[in-house]
Amino acid sequence: MARDEKAYQGCKIGIVAQELVGKAWIVEPQRTRMCTIICSFEELQVVSACTEGQLSGLQISDTVIMSWHEGMLRIKTSGMSSAWLEGQSLRVDTKYNSIARQGHRGANLAMWLDCCVLIDMSEKKIQEGWPWSGPSTLGSILPRGRRQEKLESRKLSVATEPPITIPLRSVESEVWGHGKLAAWTSIRQERWEGELVIEGKIPLWLNGTYLRNGPGLWNIEDYNFRHLFDGYATIVRLHFDSGRLLFGHRQVESEAYKAAMKHRRLCFREFSEAPKPDSFLAYVGELASLLSGASLTDNANTGVVKLGDGRVVCLTETIKGSIQIDPDTLDTIGRFEYTDNLGGLIHSAHPIVTDSEFLTLLPDLVRPGYTVVRMAPGSNERKVIGRVSCRGGPAPGWVHSFPVTEHYVVVPEMPLRYCAQNLLKAEPTPLYKFEWHPDSGSYVHVMCRASGKIVASVEVPPYVTFHFINAYEEEDEDGRVIAIVADCCEHNADTTILEKLRLRNLRSFAGHDMLQCNNRVGRFRIPLDGSPVGELEAALDPDEHGKGMDMCSINPAYLGKKYRYAYACGAQRPCNFPNTLTKIDLVKKKAKNWHDQGAVPSEPFFVARPGATEEDDGVVISIVSAENGEGYALVLDGSTFEEIARAKFPYGLPYGLHGCWVPKKAP
């Protein structure tokens, strides 16, 4: 085996924990609590360790953690430390091919770091009888994807083409203003799993899994993505089990992600990024691939839904970016293939999903309009409900999300419209794949869910929204439906929101107010009496939530029905991004805010208590990025909106977008 440093760079090493009860807990690494490191042969720093006397309390959940930080490999265990080792220097000895404490040659690392893995290349083989038992040795080198029986008594070599690894680098040295937020930093390692220590008390009735999806990797080696929406998808799992909380995360293995890791470059078009062609012929080929949809990304980094049959699918706005995952292991199962002939390249990133159906919109860029489709549980075939033609502009408006009522589908048509020409350009335009057409008009259409008939199409004031909150039917005294009311997180026709979500803007907060927008809960009223004009006004005073409002959720039992409460991310100024969790009372027109100084919470997700009769009887779950690179899971009481529990992660997570709840399976 080669001894030069380059031979080891990129090697993937699994750190495998062990129960200290006389037998090893070492299995195929995809099923273990493991982390990933990149060998670099630079000085290493011990940040914490534990002595052998402390090992008796080590459990599976106290997995060894290694992470990359400012050019150093951090080695630590969950909740354990040893003052006599902190600050010690380690070095990589290329002569003896081992990691040793500074000043010691070829040493067994476990003799100095009883909590850590032995990395010893001098023998170039796996020991006989591996895996080991006993407290003195806690692990070994284990290349990913190799089973134990295939490695015993064999020479260990480093692959010249290592398996997929995240090309980690130090990004925390950038200027972050106040504190260092993991929210806008690439995930530290490809995966982690273990049990978290809980502060407070999680309700015993909360049993199931919260899954959250979102961008988690914003660089490929030294190439940095521009926009929040460009990042490769990271799926996060919070499993609640009778008061306990298990945590894990993993990269969604889309074709875009795997190609980037293999070739170390961008290979598919992301939200603001386009691969750089090597020649004019390559550019022509790229255009052809784009027109066919082949070069569009399948990076499913936006949402995650549980279908009525139990399958879990990660989604983005490209149809090919529908990827099924295992909610227990977070393994990527494969692309969710639609079996119909509807075609198309894009759909809404936020379908309406219930136990009985899946509803979504397919924008048509050729004949500007929208096709409304449904899919039954257990099926991959979408069936057409009806079609809406656009009333203005050269292309359909962006439909990131849409609302429904019990009997109707509400189809928004914003003046922020798709632009095929922008998609063909190699460099990003100010509005990326969109164009702003204020003179084209703004509309809302209403379609009957049963017949597909358009029952209303009204013009409304210009608006921009990513997310609708809910909709319901307004009835007169005789019980006849006279109007549709639809609420959204409205950006007041402000297209600069897309520019504000560039990573350089999110990372540049210096303490003064940069969230220069006037967001509100926008309430549409669409009359069903044939009137040509609808209404749009604020549902409550925007100052109640700091004029920052997005990422809403509701009690799912009230989907499409008249409701009172919504949970969202609001703002406490000064800030450059929504930094509160907010409970909105649409009857009293008041809001209650939760805030942690310097922290950025992600979407609040409401889970109702089984058997509850009150709309807000349940809990709200959020994943929070705190200062100094830390983060935690947060549980609030849905009624009082007070914190009842939190659990610190081993490290902070990137900002995520949307989640879903997977109830515990009945025995």
Give the residue numbers of the binding site for Fe cation. 350, 400, 467, 658
The single residue listed with the structure tokens 């109640």 is 544
CA angle at residue 363 from 357 to 367, to 5 degrees?
130
CA distance 646 to 69: 25
Edge to edge, the sheet with strand 565-570 lists 550-553, 565-570, 580-585, 590-595
How far apart, in Å, are the Cα atoms of 352 and each of 117, 251, 659?
47, 25, 13
CA distance 496 to 489: 15
- Which of 262, 263, 272, 261 has its CA nearest to residue 217? 261
CA angle at residue 203 from 197 to 204, to 5 degrees?
95
Structure token pair of residue 317: 């706005």
What b-and-e string marks burial along 81-118, b requiring 16 or more CB atoms within 10 Å of the CB?
ebeebeebebbbbeeebbbbbeeeeebebbebbbbbbb
What's the length of the chain?
Answer: 667
Q: Answer for the pair 561, 407: CB distance below 8 angstroms, yes or no.
A: no
CA distance 270 to 305: 21
Q: Amino acid letter at 233?
A: A
CA distance 244 to 62: 15
Which residues are paired to 237 by β-bridges?
A: 211, 248
Instruction: Kindly state the greatest CA–CA separation across the chain.
Output: 88
**What phi and psi values does residue 335 have, to the nearest 5 degrees?**
-70, 135
Q: For residue 21, what is the DSSP state? A: S
Q: Answer for the pair 320, 298: CB distance below 8 angstroms, yes or no.
A: yes
Binding-site residue numbers are: 350, 400, 467, 658
Q: For residue 536, what is the DSSP state? A: E
Neighbours of 393 (CB within 10 A): 22
